[in-house]
Structure 1
Amino acid sequence: MIKHRFHPIRYFNAIGTAEPCLRIADGDTVVTDTVDASGLDAREVAVASRPNPMSGPFFIEGAEPGDTLAVRIDRLTPSRATGWTYSPLALTVLDPAAVIDRLPQQRAVWDIDSKTGTVRLQEPGKGLEDFAPPVQPMIGCFGVAPAGGQALSTATSAQNGGNMDYRLFAPGTTAWFPVSVPGALFYLGDGHACQGDGEITGTGIETSFEMEVTFHVLKRTITWPRGETAEEIFTIGNARPLDQALQHATTEMSAWLGEDFGLDPRAASHLMGQVVRYDVGNVFNPAFTVACRISKRWLTKR
């Protein structure tokens, strides 16, 4: 198992089939740089300027269509002392009647304090003078190349992952992606220093990162992304409308409970009906994201 240090000179604004930037073995770790849209000054971007520039693609030896790529998020370290967000609330989360009075869009800069582990607005405004939420780094956009030679914009998400903006994609989590092309062709980027559920202003605190991830190829098939923390398992659905995203996540969780925990569909429904938790990953992007989450305390067989 090797730890690779990769410095990108080129970033992608779509996740698809492209020449790999690096070939690695099953079990290897990659440490790489990611940038937010404001960090591209002297960088080459593979596609016209759009959100969420991605590092990659990384080719993982032994990954074949029908497999699953497990990506353990080892470390996310902001590489800049500032980040940025937008206000006000996004159109997608407001009543139609409130849209007419919505303020113009405005960009705000945040200080990222590594010593205190907090973020603060540089111009907080009235009532937010003492507002300093903790730094909680997460990956907003990552995934593998989709099937059929497609290239999907990093503004959206699908079965291959993509711009899910789910706050549990954080250090200590292992994310699973369905492999559709040889080598999986994995991309990552869009680091957030902090973000609430839903990405309801259209951004987290966007900044550049050094990211460290470890790859494992699993010889099993999944349909939608999955994730695991020390305490929970979760499944992801990406779609619009929101209820369709929830349906994908719920169906994937029911399948997982059968595959790994020995529950038939009726038993799975009994368990899920009482202890499942749903999170909204994002309600801003073209595809919304819903996570279906269960505590491991309820799972007795694996």
Structure 2
Amino acid sequence: MLHHFKPTRYYNTIGAHEPALAVADGDTVVTTCVDAWGQDARGERLTQGPNPMTGPFFVQGAKPGDVLAVHLDRITPNREWGWVRTSLAFNAVDPDFVRELPERDRAIGKWRVDLAAGTATLESPQTRLGAFTLPLAPMIGCFGVAPDGDQAISTATSGPHGGNMDYNGFVAGVTAYFPVFVEGALFHIGDGHALQGDGEISGTGVEISVEVEFTVRVIERKAIGWPRGENADFIFTVGNARPLDQALYRLRSQGVLNKLGV
């Protein structure tokens, strides 16, 4: 079944919130996500950041110990501009250098998004790159399921439930797999990007509101310990920490790297 869902409430945590819509195994949902600041397709700020989530979606038949597979059918930016921070993120530098960074809320750039041409062009600030243009690669930065133990985890971070993973491989055509911790899984989605580099050293990609279409599938009695992704060429996993070796250690302690032969 195909569902067209218009969100009226958003969450800045991923947890066991009241379901916004119940769907069945195999159903497809078409909905919208505001940007990381809570701005919609018209630029109107509907809610507060960070990373407001659409949903959650209750997937009938999903139980703890199962896996929720979410296929990203389509991710389409739905406005003609996006924003980006132009300063390094505080957690991307050693603490001694943080005081030298500019005030974060003032270090904002704007990109013009041309959906027909499939490009994004830097409009401000003015740089020596001129009209710097890149191809669009729309992706989802933050999505996942309600975590274990009645937790409500900030959309600024990630964990075994998914969350703010900000991996530019989560594009249309990819299937993401999440461990199910609660009845119905309670799937959340948001934080659309028009494009993003390999990581968010400025704390953002090109942040934009999007229309998204996804299909859910329940894989019964196939427990996993960490989110995974699958595209036409690879099966992959994601995680983050500061520094990188902490992320690798955590994945190894979960047994993920051993299973992948890494």
TM over 0.5: yes
Larger Rg over CA atoms: 1
Structure 2 match to 1:114: 115
> What amino acid maps onto 1:62 in structure 2?
G
Structure 2 match to 1:242: 244
**Residues in 2 aligned to 1:123 and 1:195: alpha-carbon distance in whole angstroms:** 17
> What amino acid maps onto 2:108 in structure 1?
R
User: 1:1-302 residue pairs with structure 2 within 5 A?
Assistant: 2-36=1-35, 37-39=37-39, 41=44, 43=46, 45=47, 49-95=48-94, 98-105=97-104, 106-219=107-220, 220-250=222-252, 251-255=255-259, 257=260, 268=261, 272=262
**Higher share in helix:** 1
The CA deviation at 1:29 is 0.6
What is the identity percentage for the equivalent residue pairs of Structure 1 and Structure 2?
53
The unaligned stretches of length 5 or more in structure 2 are none
Name the SS of the counterpart of 2:73 in structure 1.
Answer: strand
Q: Indicate conservation of the 8 Å contact 1:159/1:238, yes or no.
A: no
Q: Indicate conservation of the 8 Å contact 2:109/2:125, yes or no.
A: no
The CA deviation at 1:104 is 3.7
> What amino acid maps onto 2:239 in structure 1?
G
> What amino acid maps onto 2:230 in structure 1?
E
Q: Indicate conservation of the 8 Å contact 2:168/2:199, yes or no.
A: no
The CA deviation at 1:129 is 1.1
The CA deviation at 1:107 is 1.1
Equivalenced residues, count: 253
Name the SS of the counterpart of 2:238 in structure 1.
Answer: strand
**Aligned Cα root-mean-square deviation (Å):** 1.8
Superposition TM-score, scaled by structure 2 size = 0.91
Name the SS of the counterpart of 1:103 in structure 2.
Answer: coil
Structure 2 match to 1:296: none
**Residues in 1 aligned to 2:9 and 2:117: alpha-carbon distance in whole angstroms:** 33
Q: Indicate conservation of the 8 Å contact 2:80/2:114, yes or no.
A: yes
Structure 2 match to 1:279: none
The CA deviation at 1:115 is 1.8
**Residues in 2 aligned to 1:126 and 1:18: alpha-carbon distance in whole angstroms:** 44
Superposition TM-score, scaled by structure 1 size = 0.79
Q: Indicate conservation of the 8 Å contact 2:118/2:136, yes or no.
A: yes
The unaligned stretches of length 5 or more in structure 1 are 258-267, 273-302
Higher relative contact order (CA 8 A, sep 6+): 2
**Residues in 2 aligned to 1:223 and 1:141: alpha-carbon distance in whole angstroms:** 18
